[in-house]
Amino acid sequence: MKQTIIPLGPYHPLLEEPEHFKLYVEGERVVDLDVEIGYNHRGIEKLSEGKTWDQVPYLVERICGICSTSHPMAYCLAVEDLVGCEIPRRAQLLRVVVCELERIHSHLLWVGLAGHFIGYNTVWMWAWKYRETILEICEKLTGNRNHYAMFKPGGVRRDFNKEQIDYALEHIVDVEKPTRMLTDAILDDPVIHKRLKGIGVLTEKDAILYSALGPTSRGSNVPWDARNDEPLDGFKDLKWKVIVQKDGDVFSKGVVRLLECFESVSLIKQALIGLPEGGAIDADIKEIPAGEGCGRYEAPRGEVFHYVRSDGSNMPYRHKVRAPTFNNLPTFKASCKGETIADVALITASIDPCYCCTERVAVVDKNNNEKILREKDLLKLSVDKTMSIMKKLGKTPPLYNMEI
Amino acid sequence: MSKEIIKDLKKKLKGKIIDMAEVRDNRIYVRIDPKNILAVIEYLFFKYKCKFCTASGMEMREGIEIIYHLAREDKKTLINVKTLIPFPNLEIDSVGKKIPAFRWIEREINEMLGVTFVGHPDMRRLILADSFPKGKYPLRKNFKHSDVTDEDYDYERSGL
């Protein structure tokens, strides 16, 4: 059959950031694909060589708006590995709280976008609505919805007071309940099953061969999680588990992300409750000796890797940054082959793109300003629809938790 | 844990290792000759079941040093394989021809530091524009932003 090349990008409605995919297709089927990146190259590694050790966290925070704590975290771990200092327990737990809050908001963002991409805008609006609560907790705790500037080599910059901790503990429950409802709804929805199951399968062998990271590898039965694999002190006494799914398709990657949200909620609760009274939040590093260090931390999208080399001066001699997408993008060569063009756009989204804004919906009666469709009504409408589809397919509809 | 790995590697990679040290708990640094790179990495990746994290290249006084970071996840240990490619002949065997995970980072090191990876299946530029002047390497220590002016760009090559 004649082979045709179809360009996807660099600017395309489905890609929030410029990347160029060249799809080699025969009829509807994609036989090969080529990824071109570099449209967003900002020279961060070179810039970092001209900044002092304390200025670099602010720079690496701006690598990605969504992973804005994972990069500074990995950088701080690298510097601490180089210096070899002990971090106070309180600082470790504060780090866990901020990092896990970021994980929930990033995963919910992805779930929303995935829903949007498959034309299921209900999922999109729900997920982003619940994400808003997380962002409010972030603002209360750190002073900002994104770009928290919390980390410094040796500890954290700000402490939480009692009022902030109480606020977070009280409102984290507001996220857990509706997210549970959303997760149940997505896991049972026959429409989503039909659309996402068996699409873009990345086999376990390929995931290892491409060294895929994060939910991309964990969706393919490879249990790599830097929080577990790297002996991070902060997670030592906390109870949580690594979520792994077996199938490697888009659905599995989604399930990993959704279930990880609950692990994160549990980690945040444990960290906030177990926070030791008072004490230092900073190891107070005075001098950075010559040497080298590696920092690995699990960002929402996968492991972030930072390597720093010092020659004893006040700036890094070399600072290497590897974001998870760098390893995950080449996996498309394995997962997109044989798929249709319509599915490729979804598979490319399945490793998690970046986007930042929020949406809400309310139908209001113009005459008396009264809300006609409340959240409960909308929820009921969508549950009714799912049930009717399931009945048509001859399946028994499950009981939904209607509590939000 | 790392002591065990050091003992293991010393036995299995006999004659290929110049020097090996456990700098910190769970961080092992191995120095090897560039000509042994393929054999060592293949052993670590396929037989020793390591995950490839990334490779960092940097300019030193004597040449370009490349560090391949591999992680043995079940033993919670990071193995850093260091190799120094001396000036002026910057060539090393490509690992990407055997393991796809190494392809992109080798392309990046090639355009940023000017190392040739022999046998790489696809040595196009990854991050820099196609029109960026040949023979200029941004991550070299003597590279300055002012080194590349607008006239240096070869727009014909990029097809613009």
CATH of domain A43-336: 1.10.645.10
pLDDT at A319 over 80: yes
Q: In which residue are the tokens 């399968």 written? A: A201
> Which residues of chain A have a CB within 8 Å of the CB of B52?
211, 327
**Containing H/E element for A375?**
helix A375-392
Residue A106 clears pLDDT 60, i.e. is over it = yes
pLDDT over 50 at A361, yes or no: no
Residue of A63, A318, A321 best to disrupt the B interface, most CBs of B under 10 A: A318
A327 vs B: CB within 8 A: yes
Angle of the A121-142 helix axis to the A162-188 helix axis, nearest 10: 170
Give which of A224, A212, A218 is closest to A248, Cα–Cα: A218
- Report yes or no: A224 at the B interface, CB cutoff 8 Å: yes
Type of residue numbered B44:
L
Nearest-Cα distance to chain A for B118, in Å, is 20
Element (H, E) at B108: helix B103-113
- Distance from the B68 Cα atom to the nearest Cα atom in chain A, whole angstroms: 11
Say how far apart CA B59 and CA A325 lie, in whole Å.
Answer: 25
Average confidence (pLDDT) over A274-293:
90
Per cent of chain A over pLDDT 70 is: 91
Q: What is the mean pLDDT of residues A80-96?
A: 92
What pLDDT does residue B42 have? 93
Mean pLDDT on A21-33: 86
Radius of gyration of chain A (CA): 22
Q: Give the pLDDT of residue A370.
A: 63
Given the candidates 3.40.50.11540, 3.90.1720.10, 3.30.460.80, 3.40.50.2300, the CATH classification of the domain at B2-91 is 3.30.460.80
Instruction: With beta carbons less than 8 A apart as the criterion, state whether A234 and A206 touch.
Output: no
Q: Is B26 on the interface with A (CB under 8 A)?
A: yes
Q: Could you give the percent of chain A with pLDDT greater than 90?
A: 43
Condensed to tens digits (0 to 9), the pLDDT of residues A57-76 reads 999 998 888 888 999 999 99
The DSSP code sequence of A221-233 is T----HHHHTT-G
Instruction: Give the integer Cα–Cα distance in Å for A183 and B29.
Output: 44
User: In 3-state terms, chain A is what percent helix, strand and coil (to 5)?
Assistant: 45, 15, 40
Provide the token pair at A241: 């588990």
Is the confidence at residue A357, as pLDDT, over 70?
no
- Please list every residue in chain A whose beta carbon sits closer than 8 Å to the beta carbon of residue B56: 307, 318, 320
Position of tokens 């994609």? A30
Residue of A nearest to B51 (CA): A211
> pLDDT tier at A355 (50, 70, 90 boundaries)?
very low
Within 8 A of A231 by CB-CB distance, chain B residues are 25-26, 76
A contact test, residue of B45, B58, B77 with most A CBs within 10 A: B58
Q: How far apart are CA B26 and CA A154, in angstroms?
A: 19
Q: Chain B within 8 Å of A209 (Cβ-Cβ)?
A: yes
> Does A330 contact chain B (CB < 8 Å)?
yes
Instruction: Return d(Cα A95, Cα A271) in angstroms, integer.
Output: 9
Q: Locate B47 and state its tokens.
A: 């037989």
Q: Is there a contact between A38 and B104 if contact means CB atoms under 8 Å apart?
A: no
Touching check for B35 and chain A: CB below 8 Å? Answer: no
Segments of chain B with pLDDT less than 50: 160
Chain B, nearest residue to A305 by Cα: B53
Nearest CA in chain B to A208: B51
Per-residue confidence (pLDDT) for residue B32, from 0 to 100: 94
Instruction: Characterize the bridge pairing of strands A151-152 and A155-156.
Output: antiparallel
**Who contacts A121 (Cβ-Cβ below 8 Å, separation ≥6)?**
A115
Q: Indicate the range of A282-286, A295-299, A391-395, B116-120 predicted with least confidence.
A: A391-395
Rounded to whole angstroms, how far apart are CA atoms A129 and B119?
51
- B105 shares contact with chain A (CB less than 8 Å): yes
Cis omega (within 30 of 0) on the bond before A88? no
Shortest Cα distance from A360 to chain B (angstroms)?
Answer: 38
Q: Is the pLDDT of residue A341 over 90?
A: no
Q: Nearest-CA distance from B128 to chain A in Å?
A: 6
Respond yes or no on whether the N-terminal peptide bond of residue A18 is cis (omega within 30° of 0): no
Model confidence, pTM:
0.88
Ordered DSSP codes for A63-123: T-STTTTHHHHHHHHHHHHHHT-PPPHHHHHHHHHHHHHHHHHHHHHHHHHHHHHTT-HHH
A108 near A131, Cβ under 8 Å?
Answer: yes
Q: What is the spatial distance between Cα A161 and Cα A165, in angstroms, rounded to a whole number?
A: 6
Q: Could you give the ipTM of this predicted complex?
A: 0.93
Domain boundaries defined on chain A: 43-336, 362-404
CB A254 within 8 A of CB A111: yes
Q: Cβ distance A316 to A295 under 8 Å?
A: no
Burial class (CB in 10 A: 0-12, 13-18, 19+), A39: middle
User: Domain map of chain B by residue range?
Assistant: 2-91
Residue of B nearest to A230 (CA): B76
Contact B53 A211 (CB under 8 A): yes
Measured CA angle at A264 (ends A258, A270), to 5 deg: 150
Average pLDDT estimate for A241-252: 92
Residue to test with chain A: of B54, B61, B140, B145, most A Cβ within 10 A:
B54
